[in-house]
């Protein structure tokens, strides 16, 4: 005898679907009660495994498999960024317990440092680890997917260089450019610069 739950917790439509599934099992010489017990046992085992599997565990398993498709430089870069920004903060937490608020707090610390490039790369790494965890049934979802990009609104600081506004100083600068005796290419570029009015950068 096997129970599928009582009404109204289980609707009549769902009960009929379950009944048909049990009929199919019986026609295949499968005991529905034992099959249900095995399914529940597997679900319980997966839940227990998820509780014991940390982000650190999943990260190194993912990294160990993914690195064969990467260059040595990128492989080292992923490790370096993760050890700096992810593993110290969430490495010891069970991956199934890391929700959106937890990972958002980690990413916002990078955002506060105005490291936008690092933020984007670390966010990408973490998301791939979570999705790998989902594929192993160790996590229900990727918590990063629920973080709105608007939460990270820091802008890169623009460094302005000093400009000469005194006409006398401008004249002196032009004479210095004209008297430059370096390579032909550089000398020509320096003489053209005031005419073209573009900024010189290193």
Are 73 and 86 within one domain?
yes
Are 135 and 177 within one domain?
no
Q: Which two tokens stand for residue 122?
A: 């670390």
pTM: 0.56
From CA 21, how far away is CA 25, in angstroms rounded?
6
Are 31 and 75 within one domain?
no
How many structural domains is the chain composed of?
A: 3
Residue with tokens 């593993």: 87
For residue 114, is it within any domain?
yes
Are 75 and 143 within one domain?
yes
CA–CA distances in Å: residue 133 to residues 9, 36, 49, 125, 137: 31, 25, 12, 13, 6
Answer with the residue of higher pLDDT: 96 or 43: 96
For residue 2, is it within any domain?
no
Determine phi and psi for 181, rounding to 5 degrees. Answer: -120, 35
Determine phi and psi for 54, rounding to 5 degrees. Answer: -90, 170
Residue with tokens 């379950």: 18
Please report which confidence band the pLDDT of residue 202 belongs to, taking 50, 70 and 90 as the band edges. Answer: very low
At residue 164, the pLDDT reads: 75
Are 143 and 178 within one domain?
no
Are 175 and 140 within one domain?
no
* Helix (H/G/I), strand (E/B), else coil: 94: strand
Are 48 and 84 within one domain?
no
For residue 156, is it within any domain?
no
Are 126 and 46 within one domain?
no
Answer with the residue of higher pLDDT: 4 or 43: 4
Domain span including residue 108: 55-147
From CA 139, how far away is CA 46, in angstroms rounded?
10
Condensed to tens digits (0 to 9), the pLDDT of residues 9-41 reads: 677 787 778 778 877 877 878 777 776 666 666
């Amino acid at each position: 005898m096997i129970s599928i739950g009582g009404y109204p917790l289980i609707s009549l439509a769902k009960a009929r679907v379950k009944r048909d599934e049990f009929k199919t099992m019986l026609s295949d010489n499968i005991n529905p009660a034992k099959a249900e017990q095995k399914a529940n046992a597997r679900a319980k085992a997966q839940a227990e495994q998820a509780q014991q599997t940390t982000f650190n565990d999943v990260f190194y398993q993912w990294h160990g498999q993914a690195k064969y498709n990467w260059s040595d430089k990128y492989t080292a870069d992923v490790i370096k960024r993760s050890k700096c920004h992810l593993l110290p903060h969430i490495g010891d937490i069970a991956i199934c317990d890391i929700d959106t608020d937890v990972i958002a707090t980690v990413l916002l610390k990078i955002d506060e440092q105005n490291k936008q490039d690092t933020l984007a790369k670390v966010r990408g790494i973490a998301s791939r680890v979570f999705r790998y965890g989902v594929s192993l049934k160790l996590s229900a979802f990727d918590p990063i997917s629920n973080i709105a990009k608007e939460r990270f609104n820091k802008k890169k600081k623009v460094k302005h260089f000093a400009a000469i506004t005194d006409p006398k100083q401008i004249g002196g600068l032009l004479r210095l450019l004209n008297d430059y005796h370096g390579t032909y290419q550089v000398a020509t570029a320096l003489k053209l610069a005031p005419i073209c009015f573009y900024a010189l950068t290193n």
